[in-house]
Structure 1
Amino acid sequence: MKNNKEILFEAKELCKNFGSTAALKHVNLTVYRGEVRGLIGENGSGKSTISSIAAGMQPATSGEMYFKGQPHKPATMIDGAKAGFGMIVQEMGTIPGITIAQNIFLGQENLFKKHGFISLKDMYKEAKKALDAIGFTDCDPKMYIDALNMQDRKLVEIAKVMYNKPEVLVVDETTTALSQKGRDIIYKLIKQMKEENKAVLFISHDLDETMKQCDTLTVLRDGELVTTLEKSEFEPGKVKSCMVGREIGEHYYREDKICTYDKEVVIRVENVTTGRGLTENVSFELHKGEILGIGGLSHCGMHELGRAIFGEEPIVTGKVTYAPTGEEIVNARIAMKHEMGYVSKNRDIEALVLTASIRDNIIGAGFDKVSNHGIITPKSEKEYVGKQVEVLRIKCAGIDQAVKFLSGGNKQKVVFGKWIGRGTKILILDCPTRGVDIGVKAAMYEIMVQMKAEGKSILIISEEMAELIGMCDRLLIMKDGVISGELKRDDGLDEKAVIENMI
């Protein structure tokens, strides 16, 4: 017992191996009723692994689990849900091509079976109740899931998990994919679970958010449990030190306060309106050696604009040109010809082939850099990929390991490796540090500063205000599809000025 609270879940000597890689090493974890337990650590530390084993997503290699005092060994997530575990996964957990209601009740269709047939009417009615229960009221369960954006699909996942009334709710990096409205829904549910004497396992790389939401923090590093901190011990410096095993400064953004870049323009955006109508008559220029930021609230159009600049989003009016030659960028092939790269917000769907190897993902964007008269030798391919693994410190079993087995931060490093490897001079980054730990963030910011020093250009689109303020020379604010303001680093970027232009 802890503070006279009942033990709800226990893991004893839990181990998980992926081939020769040990993801969990004899981890012991005890979670109590009425507790919000944070699991924190760098990418690859094991926090998602232990929670996914508890929820039934994958089996442990060895060790034991107990739930409500009974042995717990779910074979699937459906088994886990029946037992009382609900997990909102880090990646997209909805199935395209079917309705919202069908997604919510996937695997539970028998709930609506009458005389051998599934009553869609009853399913839609119950799905509406599930959505309303979490506060997602402006959603028709008859719609196909494909009509929703990524954030709203995540809300559907939450409704699905909460419909089964879990006694342990696992929130795995969910808030990074949500707007403030979605985050508020999650926070409300966490409070509700606590009040109902249930438990929450909360995983987030936002340290401030984690310390605010959690009662205790369990720190994992390289698959081992390092320590568990009580609320009274929450202190950013101490937590970071426990996570990475070394001291990390409070500030890992740019240290200078000067807006510096070359007069030469490399990308010119002129009166661009995108095909889905989320941006309207947007114009600006990106300079050589500049880190230009674009920020705004959800649905402001900034993510679609980033895709359009790289030639991946239809443009109805206006144009994007590579300024030195004047050539219009109408597709990704032309963008890459001018040494442009694009890191998508939707990493697992748009930026990576999860079932392919690290080698295939990185070399996929660099064939033209390593081929000799159309021929790529195994040696040159191995050297090219190996260099990126070494430079970016990608934690893996080898370059032929499937990307799907990497942690979120190491997946993102692979995406960076695709573009850094080919010597990209103009890099478009859409939420580049979403779902990565502070160590990986620091490494990515270091790469950005280095690229700037080399005279390369970066367009960073981000939902993290601190990131934009900390890294950009200029910051463009988007609201309702148009640019509502421009702020410069040497004018003193601050949160107040940014927020005033956003709302």
Structure 2
Amino acid sequence: MYKDFGPTKAVTDMTLELKRGVVTGLVGENGSGKSTISSMISGVYPPTKGTMTYKGQPYSPKSVLDARKQGIQYLTQEQGTIDGMTVAENMFLGEEESLGKKGIVNIKKINARSAEILKENGLENVIPTKMVDDYSFEERKMIETARALSHQPEILIIDETTTALSQKGRDRIYEIIAEQKAKGTAVLIISHDLDEVKHLCDEVVVMRDGIYINTLTGGDIEPHNIRQNMIGREIDGSYYRADYECSYDEEVVLEVRNLSVSGIFEDISFELHKGEILGIGGLSECGMHELLKTVYGALKPSSGSVILKKNGVQLKNTTVSVKNKIAYIPKDRDKESLFQATSIKDNIVTAALDKLKKGFIITPSSERKMADKEAANIEVKMRDIEQQVRDLSGGNKQKVVIAKWMANDSRLFIMDCPTRGIDVGVKEKIYKLMNRLKNEGIAILMVSEEMMELIGMADRIITMKDGKLSKEFERSAGLTESTIISAIV
């Protein structure tokens, strides 16, 4: 199959087979065409050239709903429910007439059937009549999963769904995969977690630059072997920091004093030093993600303060933070950091408009020059800077987020799961960037749900449990995942 988006060739001569009762992994670097393949199978858009065959017959779905009706369910990485609608309305979107008569939607039946589906999937606490906006990102992903399983699928596509979930959510997805495999469903998994791929998959198909590279089975499904096939070269050693020294300047850049947000976390205090990477680890529900939002000024604390030591400024809101050259890279980049319907250029310059001003004027040429420079520095794979951000892969979207803050000459980076849902090649680039920033004296505050990322990159790690700080660890060769896990569970 082939898929072009104007001059951009997303998929070139790709062949893929899905078999009943077989879990197939689809891996490749960001921009390799994995999600494009899934989107064609699930009816998001048609192939430019080539054919699809389903159950021995030609297959060309007219829409996602058409594909669903034929037994193909697609779970994506990003949010797939619509704000401003109830849980039940989301679950039966496009299928309302199945529980109505003569064009009249029977809301009572939709609510009742939604309650049954939610209960069947262990979501008894989710209320069908409640607005979906009231639920967390993870709860919404599980609602989507329940919707997908409400009709027994013939093909189940799971596209980076686990990256945004807690361990509990991931375990539920793993159970679903095992259940569907036992029922004879063909399961396609797209994941950058290569240990997850090894654990779940019967075979692994590797793509690179839109082209089929290899199919791995049995003992060949090993992370190192998968990476080599993805990148086309050997990866020398680890891409984390090579040193085991807890090294940073004595100068304190940021001080967090007795910070609390009612019902989420309480009495958090720590200092961040110049040239330090300070990692925060814990279970998803421990409050660490909300802590970063509060430090940045996006969430108002119930008590406590966040102070820049150099000038004594208190970070009370995001405007103050941006003005003081503080960058924030959120966990949910699509919703919280990018303007999806605008260009790469517009996204990159948005935090640095004051820097571009000459009097009251910002010229288009100055915007283009800045965007071109920052996109090139971080190697965004794109058609040009006028391309819309929503058309980029997850890794390239993350590069745009980082480029935005680099354009503003940020001196402190707050990173919430900076490598979530991106491939090994982009991870390597982000880790090298973090090392470079550290060596330039820039402070980094990082939350991560990956223990090895914390161990591999941080000078110090502070752990959280039940909304409170539980322990602190310094960088050392002997620090292990089990040691950190014992402090957060």
**What's the TM-score, normalizing by structure 1?**
0.95
Residue from 34, 40, 47 that aligns with 1:47: 34
Does 2:169 correspond to 1:182? yes
Verify the 8 A CA contact 1:257 1:492 in the aligned structure 2: no
Verify the 8 A CA contact 2:25 2:189 in the aligned structure 1: yes
Does 2:210 correspond to 1:261? no
Matched residue, 1:430 = 416
Structure-2 separation of matches of 1:445 and 1:137: 41
Verify the 8 A CA contact 1:135 1:185 in the aligned structure 2: no
Matched residue, 1:143 = 130
Structure-2 separation of matches of 1:480 and 1:491: 28
1:196-236 Cα distance to aligned partner (Å, 9 max, x none): 11200100000000111001111001000111111232122
Matched residue, 1:172 = 159
Q: Percent identity?
A: 46
Verify the 8 A CA contact 2:32 2:211 in the aligned structure 1: yes
Structure-1 separation of matches of 2:236 and 2:139: 36
Verify the 8 A CA contact 1:134 1:185 in the aligned structure 2: no
Structure-2 separation of matches of 1:499 and 1:444: 24
| Counterpart mapping for 1:152-171 below 5 A | 152-171=139-158
Does 2:342 correspond to 1:356? yes
Q: CA deviation at 1:143?
A: 1.9
| Counterpart mapping for 1:207-286 below 5 A | 207-274=194-261, 277-286=263-272
Does 2:481 correspond to 1:481? no
Matched residue, 2:378 = 392
The one-letter code of the counterpart of 1:46 is: G
1:349-392 Cα distance to aligned partner (Å, 9 max, x none): 11000110000000111112222233333332222111111111
Verify the 8 A CA contact 2:77 2:162 in the aligned structure 1: no
SS of 2:420 mapped into structure 1:
coil
Matched residue, 2:488 = 502
Residue from 327, 330, 343 that aligns with 2:313: 327
Q: CA deviation at 1:148?
A: 0.8
Residue from 408, 426, 431 that aligns with 1:445: 431
Verify the 8 A CA contact 1:341 1:427 in the aligned structure 2: yes
Structure-2 separation of matches of 1:422 and 1:391: 14
Q: CA deviation at 1:140?
A: 2.1
Does 2:244 correspond to 1:287? no
Verify the 8 A CA contact 2:277 2:438 in the aligned structure 1: yes
Structure-2 separation of matches of 1:191 and 1:258: 43
The one-letter code of the counterpart of 1:333 is: T
Q: CA deviation at 1:250?
A: 4.3
Structure-2 separation of matches of 1:375 and 1:319: 36
Structure-2 separation of matches of 1:460 and 1:492: 21
Structure-1 separation of matches of 2:139 and 2:455: 27
Residue from 358, 366, 389 that aligns with 1:372: 358
Verify the 8 A CA contact 1:343 1:429 in the aligned structure 2: yes
Instruction: Give the gaps of 5 or more residues in structure 2.
Output: none
Matched residue, 1:7 = none
Structure-2 separation of matches of 1:249 and 1:138: 48
Instruction: Give the gaps of 5 or more residues in structure 1.
Output: 1-13
Structure-2 separation of matches of 1:267 and 1:195: 53
Q: CA deviation at 1:30?
A: 1.4
**What's the TM-score, normalizing by structure 2?**
0.97
Matched residue, 2:81 = 94
SS of 2:461 mapped into structure 1:
strand
Structure-2 separation of matches of 1:33 and 1:449: 45
Does 2:368 correspond to 1:382? yes
1:115–1:360 CA distance, 2 compared to 1 (3 A): closer
Structure-1 separation of matches of 2:103 and 2:343: 44
Matched residue, 1:304 = 290
1:329–1:210 CA distance, 2 compared to 1 (3 A): same
1:142-183 Cα distance to aligned partner (Å, 9 max, x none): 221111111110000101111121110000000001111111
Structure-1 separation of matches of 2:237 and 2:98: 52
Number of aligned positions between the proteins: 489
Does 2:311 correspond to 1:314? no
